[in-house]
């Protein structure tokens, strides 16, 4: 139990959008799981712009249960923004995230906390027997494989909503766009110890999934951001300069080829599209190398690493219940 004025040791954070049918059972299952373990706890539910009765249900249960708190966003900002708003509000030294759709089993939380106690900084759940439809499982497998190859952190399930970590981890990783999918990879890049634990996964009982194919497209685009943060956050000149060198080399080879044609044959090169391409590649090369050098100067002058900056909107939350 958490007494008045005493901070909880564990904070559970749940973003929710239109989950009115699932919230009462979620509260009951979380209470049963957490009251069976010795650590004090709280549950913070972030209502991410729900249009159903979710906020009313959160308020009613928060009034009856001191463990429960609610935070309401003025509109739907997306899961990453909801998590960021919640992370700014939680009070525990340990943080557990789980989805509100009841597919994540709260009974697994003590096992995740035990893994933290054993030395991990972040434990990511792995839905070993996933209960989602095939159309959702196959893109997820491809996503997990690509993320492992690009970031260097090989996990079976990067995007499982059930995770446990030391709260400081969540306060150091950037949370915006679709970057919540890459929390383990970003934490790994910052030097935190990341591990994976198989967890029980259940089929959705009520409501509908908020995820579609467009989420994977946006996630793929944000993977480029992750690459920049994890591999080039402290050396942007290597990223931009590398692109510039490749473009400059191709442009030089093209121009040398055309120069040879101009010098040793009677053919005209002035109207060839290849000449335009070669010149554009050389210009692009100069721009990329210059951008890389400017980025290095910015990092040097500010004295801060771009990959540990966390930008959180100042005006996302409008209501709280405790």
Which DSSP string corresponds to 55-77?
A: HHHHHHHHHH-TTEEEEEESS--
Mean pLDDT of the chain: 83
Question: Where residue 203 falls among pLDDT bands split at 50, 70, 90?
Answer: confident
Q: Tokens 């009034």 — which residue?
A: 63
Strands 68-73 and 10-16: unpaired
Question: Where residue 298 falls among pLDDT bands split at 50, 70, 90?
Answer: confident
- Reply yes or no on whether the pLDDT at 311 is more than 50: no
pTM of the model: 0.71
> What pLDDT score does 124 carry?
92
- Reply yes or no on whether the pLDDT at 211 is more than 60: no
User: 311 or 72: which carries more pLDDT confidence?
Assistant: 72
Which DSSP string corresponds to 232-262?
A: HTT-HHHHHHHHHHHHHHHHHHHHHHHHHHH
Highest mean predicted confidence (pLDDT) among 202-206, 241-245, 275-279: 275-279
User: 1 or 91: which carries more pLDDT confidence?
Assistant: 91
* Of 192, 210, 7, the residue nearest 92 (C-alpha): 7
Give the mean pLDDT of 10-15. 96
pLDDT digits (tens, 9 = 90+) for 15-73: 999 999 999 999 999 999 999 999 999 999 999 999 999 999 999 999 999 999 999 99
């Amino acid at each position: 139990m958490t007494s008045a004025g005493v901070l909880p040791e564990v904070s559970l954070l749940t973003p929710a959008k239109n989950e009115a049918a699932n919230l009462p059972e979620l509260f009951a299952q979380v209470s049963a799981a957490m009251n069976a373990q010795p650590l004090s706890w709280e549950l913070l539910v972030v209502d991410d712009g729900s249009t159903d009765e979710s906020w009313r249900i959160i308020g009613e249960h928060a009034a009856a249960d001191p463990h429960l708190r609610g935070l309401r966003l003025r509109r739907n900002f997306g899961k990453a923004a909801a998590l960021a708003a919640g992370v700014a509000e939680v009070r525990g030294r340990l943080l557990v995230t789980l989805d509100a759709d009841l597919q994540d089993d709260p009974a697994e939380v003590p096992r995740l906390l035990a893994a933290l106690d054993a030395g991990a900084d972040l434990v990511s759940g792995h839905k070993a027997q996933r209960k989602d439809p095939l159309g959702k499982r196959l893109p997820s497998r491809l996503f997990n494989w690509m993320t492992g190859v690009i970031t260097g952190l090989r996990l079976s399930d990067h995007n499982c909503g059930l995770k446990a970590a030391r709260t400081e981890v969540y306060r150091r990783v950037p949370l915006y766009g679709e970057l919540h999918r890459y929390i383990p990879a970003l934490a790994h890049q910052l030097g935190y110890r990341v591990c994976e634990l198989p967890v029980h996964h259940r089929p959705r009982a009520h409501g509908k999934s908020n995820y579609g194919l467009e989420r994977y497209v946006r996630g793929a685009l944000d993977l480029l951001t992750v690459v920049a943060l994890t591999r080039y956050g402290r050396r942007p000149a290597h990223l931009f300069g590398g692109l510039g060198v490749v473009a400059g080399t191709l442009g030089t080879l093209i121009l040398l080829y055309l120069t040879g044609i101009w010098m040793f044959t009677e053919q005209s090169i002035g109207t060839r599209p290849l000449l335009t391409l070669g010149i554009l590649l050389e210009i692009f090369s100069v721009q990329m190398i210059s951008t890389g050098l400017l980025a290095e100067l910015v990092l040097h002058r500010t004295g801060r690493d771009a990959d540990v900056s966390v930008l959180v909107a100042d005006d996302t939350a409008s209501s709280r219940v405790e």
